[in-house]
């Protein structure tokens, strides 16, 4: 378990930016589409699997 002052949303934003950047750098658009789909799932269901995982790892819980 990680002890940090970061919030789960902040960790998810960092993860998304790294994944999107790597998709652009390597010209691999399916990973960009995956992030878009996951963001839409978070918006419509108010549940983000990545946020949940970061909270389990010890990041501070926040609302989406």
Asked if residue 2 belongs to a domain, the reply is no
Higher pLDDT, 1 or 18: 18
18 beta partners: none
Domain that holds residue 28: 8-57
Q: What are phi and psi of 62, to 5 degrees?
A: -140, 160
How many domains does the chain fold into? 1
pLDDT at 64 over 80: no
Asked if residue 50 belongs to a domain, the reply is yes
pLDDT of 28:
94
DSSP code at position 27: T
* SS3 call for 7: strand
pLDDT at 40 over 70: yes
pTM: 0.74
Asked if residue 49 belongs to a domain, the reply is yes
User: Quick one: average pLDDT of 16-39?
Assistant: 92
Asked if residue 1 belongs to a domain, the reply is no
Asked if residue 63 belongs to a domain, the reply is no
Asked if residue 24 belongs to a domain, the reply is yes
Asked if residue 21 belongs to a domain, the reply is yes
Q: Is the separation of the CB atoms in 42 and 13 below 8 Å?
A: no
Asked if residue 13 belongs to a domain, the reply is yes
- pLDDT range class, residue 3, cuts 50, 70, 90: low
């Amino acid at each position: 378990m990680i002890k940090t002052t970061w919030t789960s949303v902040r960790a998810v934003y960092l993860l998304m930016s790294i994944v999107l950047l790597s998709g652009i750098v390597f010209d691999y658009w399916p990973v960009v589409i995956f992030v878009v789909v996951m963001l839409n799932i978070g918006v419509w269901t108010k549940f983000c699997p990545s946020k949940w995982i970061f909270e389990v790892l010890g990041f501070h819980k926040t609302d989406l």
